[in-house]
Amino acid sequence: MLGVFNKVFRKDSGASKEIAKERLRLVLVHDRATVSPRFLELIREDIVDVIVNYMEIDEGGMEISLDSMEDAAVLVASIPVKRVKRLARPTG
C-alpha cells in the first residue's frame, strides 16, 4: 500500500516540469500568433505603403499571415511583384 502512495506522490525527475513548460510555451506562441483580422490589415496597409515606393505590386494577389514556428511568431508575406522601379541615385 505504501508503494502506491510513493508512486503517486513521489517527486518526478523533472519530466512533469518539462511537460508543463512545453505546454506553457505552446500556449504563449499561440497567443502571439493569434491576432485580429484588423491587425493583419493594418500591417498589410503599412507594408504596401513602403513597398510601392520601390516596386509595382499586385495587391490583389498579396497574402499576409502570422504563423507559429517553434517558440516564435512569424510574419509571412507573399507579395507578387510586377516590376521594380528604377531609383535615382543620390548625389554627394
Model confidence over 29-57: pLDDT tens digits? Answer: 556 666 777 888 888 899 999 999 999 99
Question: pLDDT higher for 30 or 75?
Answer: 75
Is the distance from CB of 85 to CB of 52 less than 8 angstroms? Answer: no
Mean pLDDT (the chain, rounded): 77
Share of the chain above pLDDT 70, in %: 65
Residue 71 pLDDT greater than 90, yes or no: no
Question: How high is the pLDDT of residue 13?
Answer: 55
Element at 19 (helix H, strand E):
helix 15-33
Q: State mean pLDDT over 17-34.
A: 67
The letter for the amino acid at 11 is K
Question: Is the full-model pTM beyond 0.75?
Answer: no
Three-state SS at 73: strand
Is the distance from CB of 68 to CB of 33 less than 8 angstroms? Answer: yes
